[in-house]
Structure 1
């Protein structure tokens, strides 16, 4: 039986994204067996694979990392902690010794079988002698074909796989089948969230126990103490807190995940103003930080209510990705008719308390869809689109992305450099800024260029966010170009 690799591991070995690998499968360039690929088929599809061929993968990883705030990045490093490295090396050494012993036994068995067949070829029964000779010829042929399969390229790929197993552990979740890698000394929970997977959790610091899950296969190691007490019965069943453990070996974990907006509870959290960045005269990026013991769970594209002491409040889309529920980003538009926004531009101070209530809304990524995606935002409607994009980058299942950002003037693209950086770093991502005033005629003129490029939208998922008029105009035009209503997702901003 040839060695099989999961799609996540195969993509990592040849240094491409998982979505790029899925393109090869869909085009027929690469075949799969029970959702996996063989080493030989992988090398046949990507013959240029080298040990150092990780450029595209590194680009995607950089995008994921830059979606997380600096303070959180400092908590983890690229290399695992020495204790974790030692544990992984010890485990692999034991596997190597066991494998070598098994191989020795099989080689001895084959040699004995070979000798028996040679002896049987001397018997008088011509028919039996003929069968023995045929079996001997088959063994010779199999030995030669095996030698051809195990060539230098295969050895190199398997060696790279071993190195990756030391540097990063692979995790598969059941029953969902989601997969991700644990880099550095990150906890299982941190790695899952960074990969865009909505594991169940609460505080992420070992107090609440909501991230408790059962390790079905593999070994883990505790990386931080936790106050939550796991019962002896649960320990015997393999339950661990995902926020307090990392992986020593590849894992299979039985864990709860949120699959729908109704799976995430309503939360009330008191956060602090961490940063106020006025990026243009009309745009303010507000960064809030929750306590270490209480992070916000949400889906990309959702909104919350922000409330100040005294009752002043407003509804805002979260502009950051769910990979870091402690550090939250909001984009405030000074032209919006909102008293909290007006106060934020003039009086809000660092360290000031802001109450968060939510999340709410169903403008979320269609995670089970692998269709190419178009994202369209008008002005500060970019906030939920940014969250969706960062989440999509983390999931790495969408074949291609194209972002159209419309604004009434050049200053309206208040994070233009970020979008251009994404386009430079990701081969599958395109970015087009378009200047258009928020009136029906100007919007239709701007959108006509999009429809010229994508005349048939039947195979796309489309996400649009912006003022009500923008949503209405876009919906009307897109549905005239074969876009099914089930593939059109929208969110109206103030």
Structure 2
């Protein structure tokens, strides 16, 4: 059995089979709906259920609260249609025509950036190029059928290699290989580009960017793209880590700040070590951002990092006047798939 899904405000329609989620059905039929993790953890695909019924299986998805459901919200990466549906969700027109590919690739560079982050460069076959938007991610396809998602850290105009920032995760199936016996010239398979986290260039508002750990990777791609295209809107990057050693590319945003008058950079340490002799911002990175910008109503905010950071910041930013449609985020979920 299939059900008709009507998107508002566009009026576009597609069909969903009874064994697929609303997001899967929309993507399969060429509709660029917002999503991030695709496993119910990040909330990027949250929209409004105007008419109809959906089912999530035995457990409520982590990013869908009772308050969301009471407000008519639905998480479309997990929602399966039980009837015809009318839903309200933003369509991402800029991603519509980008082809998602499954491709072989070769590891051409492995460089330790600090104690737990590896920079990996991947090379596609000579006849292939991956078209993507700055901020999107790829999936590394493991031999056992699992996949691991990594944001592309390079801007689209620098696509000779695909740059990933791989954080070492205890017991990680892929990161363990990267920090273990993986060698340059190793062969991998990837799928991408994926996700709807990318820079909205048609907005007139100033841009605030907030990274937690390797959440710096997609924001790096966005900023390099913005500098390359001459985007002149004010931009301010906040990068939160535990200690000074975790700022694995600290010199790069400092160079950007010296070269571009419209860009500012604020690193934030939550647990600085005595040897760090740190005199900069401390505490939670989203609180440092709010100290600098207590009223977010006129800003566009992009944030990438671990789910606890995203969840805490989202609530705090909404309370500071940030409209929901001016917040864009990518939640890095390190849990086992």
TM-score interval, normalised by the smaller of the two chains: 0.5 to 0.7
String of CA shifts for 1:77-134, please: whole Å, max 9, x gaps: xxxxxxxxxxxxxxxxxxxxxxxxxxxxxxxxxxxxxxxxxxxxxxxxxxxxxxxxxx
- TM-fit CA distance, 1:351: 1.0
- 2:142 equivalent to 1:303: no
Partner of 1:459: 298
**Alignment partner, residue 470 of structure 1:** 309
**Structure 1 match to 2:106:** 272
Select the residue among 231, 250, 253 that pairs with 1:416.
250
Of 333, 350, 355, 2:167 maps to 333
Aligned pair partner of 1:491 in 316, 330, 333: 330
Q: Which residue of 80, 91, 96 maps to 1:262?
A: 96
Unaligned runs of 5+ in 2: 1-91, 272-280
For the aligned residue pairs, the C-alpha RMSD in angstroms reads: 2.1
Matched, 1:356 2:190: yes
Deviation of the 1:337 alpha carbon: 5.2
Give the 3 Å change call, closer, same or farther, for CA 398–370 of structure 1 in structure 2: farther
Please give the per-residue CA displacement for 1:330-373, whole angstroms capped at 9, x wherever unaligned: 00111365311110111111111111111111111111113110
Residue 321 of structure 2, aligned match among 461, 482, 491: 482
Distance in 1 (CA, whole Å) between partners of 2:312 and 2:282 is 7
Shift of 1:490: 0.6
- Kept in 1, the 8 Å contact 2:240–2:284? The answer is no
Distance 2:126 2:215 in 1: 29
Matching residue of 1:151: none
On the 8 A contact 1:291/1:326 being kept in 2, the answer is no
Q: Which has the larger radius of gyration?
A: 1
Structure 1 portions without partners, runs of 5+:
1-257
Match of 1:29 in 2: none
User: Would the alpha carbon gap of residues 274 and 366 (structure 1) be closer, same or farther in structure 2, given more than 3 Å must change?
Assistant: same
Cα 1:337–1:380 change in 2 (3 A) is farther
Aligned partner of residue 320 in structure 1, secondary structure: coil
The residue number in structure 1 matching 2:59 is none
Partner residue, 1:142? none
SS of match in other structure, 2:96: helix
- Tell me: CA distance 1:470–1:349, structure 2 relative to 1, closer, same or farther (3 Å): same
Query: How far apart in 2 are the matches of 1:407 and 1:363?
Result: 21
Q: Deviations over 1:394-426 (max 9, x none)?
A: 222341110000001111110101111111111
Count of aligned positions? 233
Higher helix share: 1
Quote the Cα distance in structure 2 between the aligned partners of 1:455 and 1:377: 18
Matches within 5 A, 1:161-310: 259-308=93-142
Q: 1:449 aligns with which of 279, 284, 288?
A: 288
Matches within 5 A, 1:399-438: 399-436=233-270
The reply on whether 1:323 has 2:157 as its aligned counterpart is: yes
Q: How far 1:458 sits from its partner (Å)? A: 1.4
Residues 314 and 338 of structure 1 are in contact (CA less than 8 Å); yes or no, is this contact kept in structure 2? no
**Residue deviations 1:244-298 (CA, integer Å, cap 9, x gap):** xxxxxxxxxxxxxx95222111111211111000111111000111122101111
- The match for 1:396 is 230
What does the per-residue CA deviation read over 1:288-346, in whole Å, with 9 as the maximum and x for residues that have no partner?
A: 11122101111111111113556564111111111133311000111365311110111
Distance in 1, matches of 2:193 and 2:312, equals 28
1:344 has 2:178 as partner: yes
Counterpart-to-counterpart distance in 1, 2:194 and 2:248? 25
Q: Distance in 1 between matches of 2:132 and 2:186?
A: 23
TM-score (norm 1): 0.45
Higher relative contact order (CA 8 A, sep 6+): 2
Whole-angstrom CA distance in 2 between matches of 1:336 and 1:263: 38
Deviation at 1:448, TM superposition (A): 3.0
